[in-house]
């Protein structure tokens, strides 16, 4: 688990953050970089709004996956087959251009006794989504967090996302999506389980 989160500040650890003033000044520089005038009326409050928006869009750095996944329960009448939460919509930002990634995550695991609250799976996607990401890292982080904290028989994650850095700029290919998968433990070793996961996603 440490390996997954150690690049990010832990919950409450905001000391290394620049001040509000520094953040707003940086936005003013970027406004000038666009060619606009930060002192015109319509842009006067923009640095403050952008700083607040960044806090929200990147709030995943302040949240702990272990905390979210910590609350599990066992009373499921011996249920032990796959649990799949599919079509979890998310927004993230690519770490190369800081432009949105828009997509859906499908997350499954094979329980070994304990199960997760279903909303916690979606909350986990939010935590990692609200950080600067590559799609590969996002996929692996979600799978590894569940594997490490819940210790199920296996985890499968698929992400299907559009990168606006490929659509709005650069190569400008709108509508193309990228698929990434991570399989752990029993999912990694068992092609039939992988196939069942992929079939259930499409059902």
Q: What residues are designated binding site for Zn(2+)?
A: 94, 97, 165
96 is catalytic: yes
94 is catalytic: yes
The residue among 95 and 151 lying less far from Zn ion, judged by its C-beta, is 95
**Contact stretch for ligand GTP (CB under 6 A) within 35-43, 116-124, 161-169, 183-191:** 161-169
Among 171, 172, 199, 202, binds ligand GTP (CB under 6 A): 171
The residue among 80 and 97 lying less far from Zn ion, judged by its C-beta, is 97
Cα separation, 105 vs 87, in Å, equals: 6
Query: Binding to Zn ion by residue 165, rule CB under 5 A?
Result: yes
Query: Binding to Zn ion by residue 17, rule CB under 5 A?
Result: no
The residue among 69 and 94 lying less far from Zn ion, judged by its C-beta, is 94
93 is catalytic: no
Query: Binding to ligand GTP by residue 136, rule CB under 6 A?
Result: yes
Task: Provide the binding-site residues for ligand GTP, judged by CB under 6 A.
Answer: 94, 96, 134-136, 163, 165-166, 170-171
């Amino acid at each position: 688990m440490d390996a997954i989160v150690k690049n990010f500040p832990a919950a409450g650890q905001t000391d290394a953050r620049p001040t509000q003033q520094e953040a707003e000044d940086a936005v003013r520089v970027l406004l000038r970089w666009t060619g606009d005038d930060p002192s015109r009326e319509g842009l006067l409050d923009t640095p403050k709004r952008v700083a607040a928006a960044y806090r929200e869009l990147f709030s995943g750095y302040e949240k702990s996956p272990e905390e979210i996944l910590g609350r599990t329960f066992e009373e499921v009448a011996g249920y032990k087959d796959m649990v799949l939460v599919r079509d979890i919509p998310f927004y993230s930002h690519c770490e190369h251009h800081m432009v949105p990634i828009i997509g859906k995550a499908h997350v499954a695991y094979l329980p070994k006794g304990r199960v997760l609250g279903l909303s916690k799976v979606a909350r986990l996607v939010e935590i990692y989504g609200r950080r600067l990401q590559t799609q590969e890292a996002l996929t692996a982080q979600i799978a590894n967090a569940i594997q490490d904290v819940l210790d199920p028989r296996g985890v499968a994650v698929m992400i299907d996302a559009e990168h606006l850095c490929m659509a709005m700029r650069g190569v400008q290919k709108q509508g193309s999506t990228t698929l990434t998968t991570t399989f752990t433990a029993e999912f990694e070793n068992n092609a039939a389980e992988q196939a069942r996961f992929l079939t259930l996603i499409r059902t």
